[in-house]
Amino acid sequence: MLFKRLQKHLLLCVSALLILPNSLYAIEAEIVQSAFAMSIKNHQPFNVVQQLNNNISKIYFFTDMRNFQGQTLTHQWSLNGWVAQSIPFEVKGSRWRVSSNKSLKPRNKGTWTVKVLDEQGNIIKQASVSYHKLQAPPAKKKVPEATKTQAAFKEVSSSKKAVSVKKESLKSIDSEKTTAKTKSETKVASESTVKKSDKANTDNTKKRASKSESEKSDSQTAKAETEKKSKKSADKSADAKKDTASSIQAAVIESYDSDIVEDDDECTDDHDHETEHGSIGKQQLSDE
């Protein structure tokens, strides 16, 4: 009984393992990138194109797939709906990059289409590229010699004009520089003149002040000398007056003394006359 149960569970597990990959394939399998390119480098498309000129002799189709492992897919090339080639390949990993190529001839003009088909022939992905005849570039119109000469003359004139404008511009710049330099020099000279003038005014003011002080000192000295001289003269005058007064007094006294002597001499001769004359001498002395 136990063995039958284990066998039943084992069958269920095996069935689940067989069903699970198919369910993953149905949900997650996809082609993440597809493109036409001129070449393949390092498993990547190089110089991807959407239209070609018919001078190209080979073209590549690149696909990057996920979760198609164990499946056989096909690149089907067709021109204008006619199948030209089918290239099957086996996917051996969860991420698989595959490219196929097709040699082209100039007469194979039209629309080339590549379909990616699964094992049942279902279309998984498809892309197209246009392959057309190369169109020659339009012919250049022949330019007359006269027109060429005129164009060359215009170019030379334009070049000369540009050179002239450049020279004028340089002259203008030089003139502006010269003007600025002249203004700067004038400003410096003006400032220097102002400084010199201020210095001269200051020196003159100092000189005038010094001269005024000197003159004041000289005036005071002269005044002092004058006052000294005046005082000295006054002293001399006072001394002279004193001397004069002393001389006068001395003369008066001398005269008085002389009179008295005379009176005395007279007194020896005549007593009465002496007395009278002596009285007169005394009176004169008192009057004087």
Q: What does the DSSP assignment read for 143-182?
A: PPHHHHHHHHHHHHHHHHHHHHHHHHHHHHHHHHHHHHHH
pLDDT value for 139? 64
Q: What's the pTM value of the predicted model, to 2 decimals?
A: 0.41
How far is it, in rounded angstroms, from Cα 90 to Cα 96? 9
Tell me the per-residue pLDDT of 10-19, one tens digit each, with 9 for 90 and over. 776 666 555 5
How far is it, in rounded angstroms, from Cα 56 to Cα 250? 169
Domain boundaries, the chain: 31-132
How far is it, in rounded angstroms, from Cα 63 to Cα 101? 12
* CA–CA distances in Å: residue 126 to residues 32, 41, 76, 84, 258: 12, 22, 9, 15, 184
pLDDT value for 264? 46
* 158-166: average pLDDT: 78
Residue 270 pLDDT greater than 60, yes or no: no
Residue 111 pLDDT greater than 90, yes or no: yes
Q: Domain 31-132: which CATH class?
A: mainly beta
